[in-house]
Amino acid sequence: MKTADIRKIRRKMEKVLDPKRFEHTLGVAYTASALAMCYDVDINKAQTAGLLHDCAKCMSNEKKLSICEKHHIPVNEVERKNPFLLHAKVGSYVAMKQFNIHDQDIINAILNHTTGRPGMSQLEKIIYIADYIEPSRKQAPNLTKLRRLAFQDLDQALLQVLGDTLHYLESINSPIDPMTQKTYEYYLGKE
Ligand code: DGI
Ligand code: FE
Ligand code: FE
pLDDT, mean over the chain: 97
For residue 3, what pLDDT is reported?
A: 81
Whether the model clears a pTM of 0.85, i.e. scores above it, the answer is: yes
Judge if the beta carbon of residue 58 lies within 6 A of ligand 1. Answer: no
Q: Is the pLDDT of residue 1 over 80?
A: no
Percent of the chain exceeding pLDDT 70 equals: 100
The CA 111 to ligand 3 mean position distance, Å, reads: 12
b/e for 28-66, b at 16 or more Cβ within 10 A?
bbbbbbbbbeeeebbbbbbbbbbbbbbbbbebeeeebbe
Q: Is the pLDDT of residue 33 over 90?
A: yes
Q: Is the pLDDT of residue 2 over 80?
A: no
* 8 A C-beta contact, residue 90 and residue 64: yes
Query: Measured between alpha carbons, how far is residue 138 from residues 25, 147, 162 in Å?
Result: 15, 12, 17
The C-alpha atoms of residue 146 and residue 133 are separated, in whole angstroms, by 7
Judge if the beta carbon of residue 136 lies within 6 A of ligand 1. Answer: no
Task: Report residue 4's pLDDT band, with 50, 70 and 90 as the boundaries.
Answer: confident
Ligand 1: which of 61, 75, 110, 114 to mutate, judged by most atoms within 8 Å of the beta carbon? 114
